[in-house]
Amino acid sequence: MHLNSIRVDGERLWRSLMDLAQIGATPKGGVCRLALSDLDGEARRRFLRWCEAAGCAVAVDAIGNIFARRPGRRAELAPVLAGSHLDSQPTGGKFDGAYGVMAALEVLRTLNDHRIETEAPVEIVAWTNEEGSRFQPVMMGSGVYVGAHDLASTLAQRDQDGVTVGEALARIGFAGDARLFGQPAGAYFEAHIEQGPVLEDADVVIGVVTGALGLRWFDVIASGQDAHAGTTPLARRRDAMLAAAQVIVELDRIAREHPPSGRATVGAMTVAPNSRNVIAGQVSFTVDLRHSDEAALAAIEEAFRRACAAIGAARGVSFTIKQVSAYPVTQFDPGAIAAVRVGAAALGISHMDIVSGAGHDAVNMAGHAPTAMIFVPCAGGISHNEREAAEPDHLEAGCNVLLQAVLAKAGVR
């Protein structure tokens, strides 16, 4: 049998996705399944039953990551991992995360159907708390797994009600001890909806993800002087709102000077005193800078800081800039990327290289194992939204590419 002729069962994949989406289903057709909630526990148990039915041995680690192993011919080889996460945003969709886990499950089911014995073991992984909506930090489970976060302090993180990660894990029965962190992996593949509009615009089914944008987050405070909007001549103003607006316009210009992946976003703003006829004395806003090249990202940050200094000086407004988070540019593994690209080509599925604009567990795994991702289109590029949608055919195609990539890395004698 030629391995390229094997296909996953697209209908079974779709049914699993729809079954899973019932757990935490929202009236608007989305999913609310916050990390380590009772609903997350229910989804995990359903996933475990499916894994056990597929003959997998299941292990849960101390941060709640789930590993479901299908043995290979050579038990001494590091397993090839495929997966994503089961938790969702508060108003999330059916596919973000869930697709990567269900696609990995479908790959194992297909291997079973065809009685294929791989050389290396193949494991499905469901990482704990990728979204970071309830507990910080985001991408928690994969971060602990690769040693980016300390286990003890992560277990002590609290949600808004004061519940710790450790308490929440114990409550839903997923405080495991079955596995050491940082165990080697032969490769890691994550299938995911793109969450952006690029594939849909290009009418391409598969995004061969070559890496992820670097990211720098800042909290900025513009401090001027609140004053009466009627009695204060323009020349005498220290208008924090006007200065902030100039910075926002300038940030867009700076990002456009670094195409194609340069991005700058001001998504949140708070104004004080926020009164119609009072010049704003203080404006706080967030800045999100991204680029696929570390030097370009640094140049964008430098230009942003220069803009604040120049605009502040001209407007009598002082800017304080605090970096609150940063992820370096991620380059995925050339061999893992090639396995995805070759798989798509062998199946005759349209594909293009793409860089992930968002963070994923694969970003954590990239420093730990040969890693790549497979993107499929989502309608209108909309995600983190109950309206999130994807075509069954595209999900099936992405799963077939995942199967090919897993087979290439796990090996079949």
What is the nearest approach in angstroms of its own copies to the Cβ of residue 117?
A: 38
Which amino acid is located at 108 in the chain? L
List beta partners, residue 164: 158
Identified binder of its own copies from the candidate list 68, 175, 242, 406, rule CB under 8 A? 242
Strands 66-70 and 122-127: antiparallel
Query: Per CB under 8 A, which region of 66-74, 113-121, 244-252, 293-301 contacts its own copies?
Result: 244-252
Identified binder of its own copies from the candidate list 77, 78, 151, 229, rule CB under 8 A:
229
**198 near its own copies, rule: CB under 8 A:** yes
Q: Which stretch binds its own copies (CB under 8 A): 39-47, 99-107, 179-187, 213-221?
A: 213-221
Q: If DSSP codes are grouped into helix, strand and coil, which group holds residue 288?
A: strand
CB under 8 Å to 95, separation ≥6 — which residues? 17, 193, 378, 383, 388, 389, 390, 395
State which of residues 4, 136, 232, 318 lies at the interface with its own copies (CB under 8 A).
232
Let me know: does 133 contact 384? Beta carbons within 8 Å: no
State both tokens at 368.
């730990």
Residues 378-397, one symbol each (x = binds its own copies by CB under 8 A, - = not), give: ---xxxxx------------
Q: What is the CA radius of gyration of the chain?
A: 23
Min. distance of Cβ 280 from its own copies in angstroms? 6
Number of residues that bind its own copies (CB under 8 A): 60
In this structure, the number of other CB atoms found within 10 A of the CB of residue 227 comes to 16
**What's the rounded Cα separation, in Å, for the pair 34 and 161?**
14
Q: How many CB atoms lie within 10 A of CB 406?
A: 25
Q: For residue 41, give both structure tokens.
A: 């526990």
CB-based contact 267:216 (threshold 8 Å): no
Among 37, 84, 118, 195, binds its own copies (CB under 8 A): 195
Taking the complex as a whole, how short is the minimal distance between the CB of residue 279 and its own copies, in angstroms? 6
DSSP code string of 257-281:
TSTTT-EEE---EEEES--TTEE-S
Q: Judged by CB under 8 A, does residue 245 bind its own copies? A: yes
Peptide bond just before 184 cis, omega within 30 deg:
no
Kindly list the distances between the CA atom of residue 148 and the CA atoms of 254, 364, 366, in Å, as whole numbers in the listed order: 31, 8, 12
Nearer to its own copies, 146 or 240 (CB): 240
Is residue 294 involved in binding its own copies (CB under 8 A)? no
- 260 near its own copies, judged by CB under 8 A: yes
Please name the residues in contact with 8: beta carbons below 8 A apart, sequence gap of 6 or more. 103, 106, 107, 109, 110, 396, 399, 400, 403
Q: Which is nearer to its own copies, 260 or 348 (CB)?
A: 260
Report strand pairing: 351-356 vs 206-212: parallel
274-293: which residues touch its own copies (CB under 8 A)?
A: 274-280, 286, 288, 290
| Residue (106 or 194) nearer to its own copies, CB | 194
Nearest partner of 204 among 194, 190, 192, 213, judged by Cα = 194
- The least CB distance from residue 158 to its own copies, in Å, is 20
**Would you say 238 or 351 has its CB closer to its own copies?**
238
Q: Would you count residue 265 as binding its own copies (CB under 8 A)?
A: yes
Q: Determine if 271 is a binding residue for its own copies (CB under 8 A).
A: yes
Q: Considering only residues 256, 295, 367, 392, which one is a binding residue for its own copies as defined by CB under 8 A? A: 256
Smallest distance from its own copies to CB 296, Å? 14
Query: Which of 359, 370, 377, 398 contacts its own copies by CB under 8 A?
Result: 359
- Where are the extended beta strands (E) located within 273-388? 278-279, 282-291, 318-327, 330-331, 351-356, 371-376
Only one of the segments 24-32, 63-71, 99-107, 247-255 lies at the binding site for its own copies (rule: CB under 8 A); that segment is: 247-255
Under the criterion CB under 8 A, does residue 246 sit at the interface with its own copies? yes
Span of 7-15, 122-130, 240-248, 341-349 interacting with its own copies by CB under 8 A: 240-248
3-state secondary structure (DSSP) of residue 7: coil
Which parts of 66-105 interact with its own copies (CB under 8 A)?
A: none
- β-strands 214-223, 206-212 pairing: unpaired
Characterize the bridge pairing of strands 263-265 and 57-60: unpaired
List 69, 70, 85, 263, residue binding its own copies (CB under 8 A):
263
Q: Looking at 11, 52, 150, 201, which residue binds its own copies (CB under 8 A)? A: 201
Residues that bind its own copies (CB under 8 A): 194-198, 201, 213, 215, 217, 226-234, 236, 239, 241-242, 244-246, 248-249, 252, 255-256, 260-263, 265-269, 271, 273-280, 286, 288, 290, 356-359, 381-385
